């Protein structure tokens, strides 16, 4: 099976291409310079030239705060780009996995993880544009597409919260981290494995919306303390604070815990706990950060 990965220069796109290559798949990995998914001609040409059996769209406008004043551009990439990919896949008999986000929900829940079929209610421009992309993919390519929502991603490549905490531990005596936002710290390599597993199953009975986050839940403060502990530092150097201490143009979801029922429906176990993933990921992240 031939796979085409868009957004391959980003953290998740890089990990998806790497995981597929590790499995011996035929992979075409295109970064933004090679494929701008918001340009119709280049999208159709890429799918026509490479003839993939399956496209994994990891390309996105991810500047959450900037999207509040640049929603039109964010919509081009996050909304219309996925629609163009879905149409090209339909024209050239390919399937599509599209990566989305927890920001499609309001983030106002408190105790129950969001199921895959929960009604979206985005509160930010970024969330609205990502929801537009979800709907476009499922409308244009019904039965042959999947939306994979993820959240709180960290990884070996690219900027992310875990790498930031490693750096701050080395430079500061104490670090203030918000303790009123709750979600699921998620290793991008684990999401890449889920996407690869889903790709070979995608079709009748295995399409629609899936949630790819590590299991369990934590606040950013709790995640930071775990990072400090794993690098041998005193976790009490991490001090709790509130979101009000870090005002942003786009409000962050207070609750971003996602449910994982759909994986069991297609014969896969729920994703592993976030602590287990972090314990495995951290040595690799530290190695890359020091190189």
Would you name the residues annotated as active-site residues? Answer: 126
End-to-end CA distance of the chain: 35
3-state SS, one letter per residue, for the chain: CEEEEECCCCHHHHHHHHHHHHCCCEEEEECCCCCCCCCHHHHHHHHHHHCCCEEEECCCCCCCCHHHCCHHHHHHHHHHHHHHHHHHHHHCCCEEEEEEEHHHCCCCCCCCCECCCCCCCCCCHHHHHHHHHHHHHHHHCCCCEEEEEECCEECCCCCCHHHHHHHHHHHCCCEEEECCCEECCEEHHHHHHHHHHHHCCCECCECEEEECCCECCEEHHHHHHHHHHHCCCCHHHEEEECHHHCCCCCCCCCECCECCHHHHHCCCCCCCEHHHHHHHHHHHHHHHHHC
- Look at residues 208, 152, 154, 157 and name the one whose alpha carbon lies nearest to residue 182: 152
Q: Are strands 182-183 and 218-219 parallel, antiparallel or unpaired?
A: antiparallel
CA angle 255, 218, 157 (to 5 degrees): 100
Asked whether the beta carbons of 74 and 126 are under 8 A apart, the reply is: yes
């Amino acid at each position: 099976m031939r796979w085409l990965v868009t957004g391959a220069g980003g953290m998740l796109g890089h990990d998806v291409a790497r995981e597929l290559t590790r499995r011996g798949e035929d992979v075409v990995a295109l970064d933004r310079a090679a494929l701008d998914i918001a340009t119709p001609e280049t999208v159709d040409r890429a799918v026509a030239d490479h003839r993939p059996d399956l496209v994994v769209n990891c390309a996105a406008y991810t500047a959450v705060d900037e999207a509040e004043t640049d929603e039109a551009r964010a919509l081009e990439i996050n909304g219309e780009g996925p629609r163009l990919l879905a149409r090209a896949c339909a024209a050239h008999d390919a399937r599509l996995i599209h990566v989305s986000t927890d920001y499609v929900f309001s983030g106002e829940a408190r105790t129950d993880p969001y199921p895959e079929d929960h009604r979206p209610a985005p509160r930010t421009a970024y969330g609205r544009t990502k929801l537009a992309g979800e709907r476009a993919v499922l409308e244009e390519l019904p039965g042959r597409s999947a939306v994979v929502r993820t959240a709180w991603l960290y990884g070996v490549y690219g900027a992310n919260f875990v790498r930031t905490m490693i750096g701050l531990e080395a430079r500061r005596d104490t670090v203030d981290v918000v303790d009123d936002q709750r979600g699921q710290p998620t290793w991008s390599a684990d999401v890449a494995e889920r996407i690869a597993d889903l790709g070979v199953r995608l079709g009748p009975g295995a399409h629609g919306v899936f949630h790819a986050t590590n299991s369990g839940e934590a606040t950013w403060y709790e995640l930071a303390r775990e990072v400090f502990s794993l690098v041998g530092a005193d976790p009490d150097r991490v001090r709790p604070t509130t979101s009000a201490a870090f005002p942003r143009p786009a409000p962050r979801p207070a609750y971003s815990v996602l449910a994982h029922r759909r994986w069991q429906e297609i014969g896969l176990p729920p994703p592993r706990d976030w602590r287990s993933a972090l314990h495995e990921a951290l040595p690799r992240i530290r190695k890359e950060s020091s190189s």
